[in-house]
Amino acid sequence: MNFEENETIKSGMVALVGLPNVGKSTLLNCLLGQKISIVSPKPQTTRNRILGIVNGEGYQIVLIDTPGLHKASSEMNRAMVRLAMESLKEVDVVLFMVDALSPIPKKEDTPTNYLKGVQTPALLLLNKVDLVDKQKVLPLIAHYGNLYDFKAIIPISALRDDGTDLLLQELLKFLPEGPKLYPDNIPTDSTERFIVGEIIREKLFLCTGQEIPYSSAVVVDSFKEREDKALITIHATIFIERDSQKGIVVGRKGSKLQEIGTSARKDIEELLGQKVLLKLWVKVKKNWTKNSSFLKELGF
Ligand code: GDP
Ligand code: MG
């Protein structure tokens, strides 16, 4: 794939979904490994965690994780399924991964069930084809092809980096042309800051509900590691647009902000493998989403 310089790039959000152990993390590492990109924090069972950003020539793929679909649907409650479905509608492409080894999933775990009512184009990745005889692959492709109207079914081996070029090629067909969603090369030294900001935003979303996040931004003001490396102190500011939102974010006697802070801190500690002291502020910045110089400051 060749892209002329200055050409509009393809960029979009891609959900990578599939049952545990099919090879999602392996694929992610493989995609991230060959392209310049940022770290992949541990997948969480929460909403739309960014798994990694793959920056290639002429494209930027933001891979996200979708909650709920890690578990078999029978274990999920309806709300989780609905939330997962909603996230699948918000992305540009769904990569649905199965592996060639496992028995064909139970009816309730089939892609048809997960993707029911989702209009987003979906590609089926049949992973671990290195482990099965070639003649077993075709019937599997036929089987999954009958289950759902996938835009493509791509046999891959994430472990051996086989078929991933074809995967990228197919994937890019369904990504819209447009600007990058994230700064091009988030320098490695600010990677952790960036992820920390995303984690706080995610918790903000989870703790406050739909209304807040689309008009919120998180800026990590400082990120200081103590000399003995035993503690990282992080200061961050949550920007919201309206005074009325402040009460929602802060909560009664600060309880909501505390909840956001605690759950974010836990994830950040897990990500960084260190103890973290997280201090959060909430500031109202009227109409910041329309304020281009402020947006620039945020890196958009
Ligand atoms: P996840 O739970 O979907 O994230 O799955 P992982 O990426 O953690 O993979 C589960 C296991 O399958 C690991 O032991 C991987 O090494 C292995 N695995 C993943 N992809 C492949 C593949 O293409 N071929 C083979 N042989 N093993 C794979
Ligand atoms: Mg995994």
Number of domains in the chain: 2
Query: Ligand 2 mean position to 271 CA, how many Å?
Result: 15
Domain harbouring 129, CATH code: 3.40.50.300
* Domain limit, last residue, from 132, 150, 178: 178
Tell me whether residue 20 is in a domain.
Answer: yes
Whether residue 90 sits in one domain with residue 127: yes
Per-position b or e across 131-140, b if 16+ CB within 10 A of its CB: eeeeeeeeeb
pLDDT at 165: 93
pLDDT at 255: 95
Closest of 154, 150, 147 to residue 106, by C-alpha: 147
Tell me whether residue 184 is in a domain.
Answer: no
155 CB near ligand 1 (under 6 Å): no
292 CB near ligand 1 (under 6 Å): no
Whether residue 258 sits in one domain with residue 169: no
130 CB near ligand 1 (under 6 Å): yes
Whether residue 214 sits in one domain with residue 77: no
Tell me whether residue 82 is in a domain.
Answer: yes
Query: Ligand 1 mean position to 64 CA, how many Å?
Result: 18
18 Cα nearest atom in ligand 1 = 3
What the block records as the tokens of 300 is 């958009």
pLDDT at 87: 74
Whether residue 157 sits in one domain with residue 29: yes
pLDDT at 176: 93
Whether residue 207 sits in one domain with residue 106: no
Whether residue 272 sits in one domain with residue 154: no
Whether residue 196 sits in one domain with residue 174: no
pLDDT at 295: 63
225: left (phi over 0), alpha (psi -120 to 50) or beta: beta
Query: Ligand 1 mean position to 28 CA, how many Å?
Result: 11
Whether residue 136 sits in one domain with residue 68: yes
159 CB near ligand 1 (under 6 Å): yes
Domain harbouring 249, CATH code: 3.30.300.20
Name the residue of 21, 42, 70, 131 to mutate for ligand 1: max ligand atoms within 8 A of Cβ: 21
Burial, 183: exposed, middle or buried (Cβ in 10 Å; 0-12, 13-18, 19+)? middle
Measuring from atom 25 of ligand 1, which residue has the nearest CA? 128
Tell me whether residue 3 is in a domain.
Answer: no
Task: Write the CB contacts of 63 (distance below 8 Å, at least 6 apart in sequence).
Answer: 14, 15, 16, 28, 31, 50, 51, 52, 53, 54
pLDDT at 156: 98
* Domain limit, last residue, from 122, 151, 178: 178
Query: Ligand 1 mean position to 18 CA, how many Å?
Result: 12
Whether residue 156 sits in one domain with residue 14: yes
Tell me whether residue 187 is in a domain.
Answer: no
**Range of 282's domain?**
192-297
Tell me whether residue 2 is in a domain.
Answer: no
164 CB near ligand 1 (under 6 Å): no
pLDDT at 5: 43
Tell me whether residue 183 is in a domain.
Answer: no
Closest ligand to the CA of 161: 1
Whether residue 133 sits in one domain with residue 196: no
Tell me whether residue 185 is in a domain.
Answer: no
Query: Ligand 1 mean position to 140 CA, how many Å?
Result: 18
Long-range contacts of 144-153 (CB under 8 A, 24+ apart): 144/98, 144/111, 147/110, 147/111, 147/112, 148/110, 148/111, 148/112, 148/115, 148/122, 148/124, 150/96, 150/111, 150/122, 150/123, 150/124, 151/121, 151/122, 151/123, 152/123, 152/124, 153/123, 153/124, 153/126
Name the residue of 51, 71, 127, 159 to mutate for ligand 1: max ligand atoms within 8 A of Cβ: 159
158 Cα nearest atom in ligand 1 = 23
Whether residue 174 sits in one domain with residue 204: no
Whether residue 138 sits in one domain with residue 55: yes
* Domain limit, last residue, from 127, 148, 178: 178
pLDDT tens per residue across all 300 residues of the chain: 344 444 578 999 898 888 778 888 788 878 876 443 333 333 333 345 566 778 888 898 888 766 545 444 444 445 555 666 777 888 899 999 999 988 777 666 677 777 877 889 999 999 999 999 989 999 999 999 998 999 999 999 999 999 999 999 999 999 999 887 776 655 444 566 777 887 888 788 888 876 665 667 888 888 888 888 789 999 999 988 888 889 989 999 999 999 999 999 998 887 677 799 999 999 998 876 666 666 666 655
